[in-house]
Structure 1
């Protein structure tokens, strides 16, 4: 695989829309469309009311319109619907021959029901805004903790694609890190079991432990054991607040600049080797339990060596890629698609993968996507070299 100066990783933008419009969601209705529908429904109900006469008055049915508007519309739109319905009902009843108290009761009931619709809309908007703020804060925190890509060390050039899911309860805990140490370059990519803020907490605990152990520990298995201990400690702390235990599937890799890479597989998906125009699954024979579950296994974690020939690249990823589905529920054919892009630059592979995933899933994702393409850096380039400090890309989509 040819190498060139890496581009900045692609990352999904943070939400920046107006709070009320965001809370209204994709189902919100334009003002002109809303006015047209209101006029058509009003005319239909008034005509039906005129046809049925006093025996079966249908005008009161208009009170359901503010309730419907409160589900799909903004507060301003719902208020306009409520005022419109109140005026129409009042005008129709005043023009009728009913008794004064009947007319007054109906107008009062319409005004009350319409007001409740506005209150319900305001409550929905307020709740949705709070959830959106919490979700945005969680995603922003993820991006601040995870270093921007690319990361270039003396042994490795790491291009990456990271797209956190931004739908409240689906916020995930994918992690990655590349650390230059006295023992070579250490890399981790992991996926925390479960979703939500608790999953992010476990991911951060694992990430912090890896950053320290990657520099301190001479053995790669000791690095994995240190991360294991951090996950166990975090689970013990979380149990005091009623949270369930969580584990982390992860690959821990060590690069020393040679033609082999050391790998500790903690229940994670195996990497793919891109070399000589083909993409192949790297067979790992020593897979251990995920991080946080070592007590369930009587075997110590073991490292193994896999080939990393000159000109090759290792692609590591989380299950947000392989478990993506199309509209019919079919899983993404990752290996078939990956074979089409071998021979391209690392950033071009990531661009093609990102676009293909988006097209295949129809833009609907239910998990974070994290992918690293690991290759040897171009001659003379390293973390302290001409690339300087990687910058974050501006939010765009």
Structure 2
């Protein structure tokens, strides 16, 4: 993808954002940092001050007003910059006239040249800001289509959580989640693509597309995992043809029915935890056969196994990626997830997500080393 004159370019094609597209993305355009009323008041005050100083102290001090448009160019609009440049030019002319140097063109030409340059710089700054804002708005719209905003409530469960890509300017990364209502209950996917950041987005999109299709049409959860396995293999084949690395994916597939029964297929992922709020206990969900990651299923000796249990109404099922369990403090210590969950087990369930978010952020000092995703799943 590349950008050319404010247009987003994909390969040989071209996508030109329209008003409808901008509205869908929530794009409103950049707003000037310098409000019109503030600009008018500031400019009037500075011009008056410049004229007074010019009359009393001569033209040498008023030359400093050639820097006025440079300031406005950094925070205002093109029109404001042009007005500031004109005002500075006027102040210098008046100062030269009062100093009997009106016949010397050099100071006025310097101020005029700087003013014109500032107008050009302001135009380029605003154009670049609009381009970046538009691109980020479109990426945000894409993220909303790929990853459901949390919290989410279906007929079988309520879900809250966190999604945080490791790259600061990225809205998507290698961790992913999805919830789909189906004739077989609510299906949940949480996964971690090998790698991190934007390099994993292609695999992420392929996996989400396969899950959303299979979740609705395949009754057996292990067969849904097989559909995801096939999707990863197809994507890896396309990646290899382009000279890109193949990737595997660790994942948890879960299905919730109306009676609170939970079915889980583990594809080499981090084990979930059952938080019993009334009993104030945390129980790791162990899998006798964790299974291999998606993309490596052909190495398994047999089909993927299915684990079933009941989710009590007073409990939260916590699922996450290794971006949580492998987070490290400044001293190199791993994040004590089970210890933290046990400490908060007696708190109201709706406070668990916020407590974990704040505690993990403080533990890593606000700087994650990997993509982070987790879901807190409860019966509604």
Query: Aligned pair 1:314/2:314, yes or no?
Result: no
CA contact (8 A) 2:316 2:377 kept: yes
Q: Which residue in the other structure is 1:95 paired with?
A: 98
Distance 2:147 2:113 in 1: 51
The alignment's TM-score, normalised by the length of structure 1, stands at 0.63
Q: Which residue in the other structure is 1:394 paired with?
A: none
Per-residue CA distance 1:28-80 (angstroms, 9 max, x = gap) = 355648965996799699979998x89xx565454444334333344454344
- Compare relative contact order (CA 8 Å, sep 6+) and give the higher one, 1 or 2: 1
Distance 1:19 1:326 in 2: 39
Q: Which residue in the other structure is 1:264 paired with?
A: 266
Structure 1 residue 91, shift from structure 2 partner: 2.7
Distance 1:324 1:73 in 2: 42
User: Which structure 2 residue ranges, 5 or more long, are not aligned?
Assistant: 1-23
Q: Which runs of structure 2 are paired with 1:302-341 in the superposition (5 Å)?
A: 302-303=304-305, 305=307, 308=310, 310-311=312-313, 312-318=315-321, 335=338, 337-341=340-344
Query: Aligned pair 1:278/2:281, yes or no?
Result: yes
Q: Which residue in the other structure is 1:104 paired with?
A: 105
Distance 1:123 1:231 in 2: 43
The alignment's TM-score, normalised by the length of structure 2, stands at 0.66
Per-residue CA distance 1:294-340 (angstroms, 9 max, x = gap) = 39x94468446375563433112356766889999999775555445
Question: Aligned with 1:313: secondary structure?
Answer: strand
Distance 1:187 1:63 in 2: 62
CA contact (8 A) 1:131 1:168 kept: no
Q: 1:48 to 1:229 in 2, by over 3 A?
A: farther
Q: Which residue in the other structure is 1:150 paired with?
A: 152
CA contact (8 A) 2:43 2:84 kept: no
Structure 1 residue 159, shift from structure 2 partner: 2.0
Question: Aligned with 1:89: secondary structure?
Answer: helix
User: Which structure 1 residue ranges, 5 or more long, are not aligned?
Assistant: 1-13, 378-397
Per-residue CA distance 1:186-215 (angstroms, 9 max, x = gap) = 32013454445x755543321120123335
Q: Which residue in the other structure is 1:177 paired with?
A: 179
Distance 1:181 1:217 in 2: 9
Per-residue CA distance 1:244-295 (angstroms, 9 max, x = gap) = 76654432234576876433134x4432221121235445575566545x39
